[in-house]
């Protein structure tokens, strides 16, 4: 049986991973999967239900009541949490402030990784996240590790949030990114690290077309 092709994109917060992943998926006619949105949806559920994060039993039980689905329209990922469209809400600050803590929980990661691996068995995919090339798909066809200057990342994210009408300071965005990078790189389970065979893409000074061209140069045969 023909094996599906997986392109894994990992990197720091707000590096433009999803923008590149969507563009690639569109160009290759692959399915785009935003793994961060899955951790965000779990976070939203935990916040709403007031789950006690010190209780393994409460966490495991809650995970059984979470169904995450993607509706891909125009290569934008729409996230459904138990059937409810939550794409906007999972990007807001309350979720952003809590998501790294929840993504560090072993039970949460095991549950998400299992679902992500299942998705890779069904279709050719581009998946972005923090552990896609290291843990979820160690045999991915192409692995990218994205990075950019922290100040540039914060400014990009700040502009995005402003455009959406969110009232947040540049300083708060910068602090949130730094905090998430720290938590993501230092957690015990599947920390964010570059897979040894991942290609580094520093996009501090690259526009979106240049990033796509850079990546396509590594995909000559598909
Ligand atoms: O990509 P993002 O910023 O939407 O991800 C939100 C958080 O989820 C991020 O701070 C770390 C976590 N995450 C993770 O631990 N593993 C992934 N594969 C994707 C995201």
Domain boundaries, the chain: 6-216
**d(CA 209, ligand 1 centre) in Å:** 24
Q: Name the token pair of 115.
A: 């679902």
Cα dihedral across residues 133, 155, 25, 23: positive or negative = negative
Does pLDDT of 3 surpass 60?
yes
Does pLDDT of 205 surpass 90?
yes
- CA distance readout (Å), 126 to 22, 98, 111, 141, 168: 8, 26, 20, 10, 31
Architecture, CATH, for domain 6-216: 3-Layer(aba) Sandwich (3.40)
Ligand 1 mutation target, pool 102, 113, 184, most atoms within 8 A of CB: 184
**d(CA 58, ligand 1 centre) in Å:** 22
Distance of CA 169 to the CA centre of its chain: 23
Residue 221's pLDDT is 66
Under the banding of pLDDT at 50, 70 and 90, the label for residue 166 is: confident
The whole-number average pLDDT for the span 52-57 is: 96
The closest residue, in CA terms, to atom 9 on ligand 1 is 100
Crossing angle (nearest 10°) for helices 93-103 and 170-186: 10
- Please give the number of the atom of ligand 1 that sits closest to the Cα of 103: 15
The whole-number average pLDDT for the span 54-69 is: 96
- Is there an atom of ligand 1 within 6 Å of 133 CB? no
3-class state of residue 129 by DSSP: strand
Q: Which residue has the higher pLDDT, 123 or 216?
A: 216
The candidate with the shortest Cα–Cα distance to 134, out of 181, 179, 189, 90, is 189
- Please give the number of the atom of ligand 1 that sits closest to the Cα of 132: 18
3-class state of residue 126 by DSSP: strand
| Digit-coded pLDDT (tens) for 26-36 | 999 999 999 99
Kindly provide the residue ranges of all beta strands, DSSP E only, lying in the chain, ordered along the sequence.
6-11, 31-34, 68-73, 76-81, 84-85, 125-129, 142-147, 199-202
**d(CA 163, ligand 1 centre) in Å:** 22
Under the banding of pLDDT at 50, 70 and 90, the label for residue 114 is: very high
Does pLDDT of 142 surpass 70?
yes
Residue 99's pLDDT is 94
Under the banding of pLDDT at 50, 70 and 90, the label for residue 196 is: very high
The closest residue, in CA terms, to atom 18 on ligand 1 is 129
Mean model confidence pLDDT for the chain: 93
Residue 93's pLDDT is 86
């Amino acid at each position: 049986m023909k094996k599906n092709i997986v392109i894994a994109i990992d990197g720091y917060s707000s590096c433009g991973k999803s923008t590149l992943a969507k563009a690639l998926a569109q160009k290759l006619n692959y399915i785009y999967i935003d793994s961060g949105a899955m951790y965000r949806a779990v976070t939203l559920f935990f916040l709403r239900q007031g789950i006690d994060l010190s209780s393994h039993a409460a966490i495991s039980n809650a995970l059984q009541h979470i169904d995450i689905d993607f509706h891909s329209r125009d290569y934008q990922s729409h996230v459904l949490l138990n059937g409810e469209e939550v794409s906007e809400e999972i990007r807001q600050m309350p979720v952003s402030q809590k998501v790294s803590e929840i993504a560090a929980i072993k039970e949460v990661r095991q549950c998400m990784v299992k679902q992500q691996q299942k998705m890779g068995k069904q279709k050719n995919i581009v998946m972005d996240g923090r552990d896609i090339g290291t843990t979820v798909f160690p045999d991915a066809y192409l692995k990218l590790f994205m990075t950019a200057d922290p100040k540039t990342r914060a400014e990009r994210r700040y502009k995005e949030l402003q455009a959406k009408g969110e009232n947040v300071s540049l300083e708060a965005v910068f602090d949130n990114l730094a905090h998430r990078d720290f938590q993501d790189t230092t957690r015990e389970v599947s920390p964010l690290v570059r897979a040894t065979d991942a290609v580094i893409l520093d996009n501090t000074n690259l526009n979106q077309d240049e990033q796509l061209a850079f990546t396509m140069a590594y995909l000559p045969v598909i």
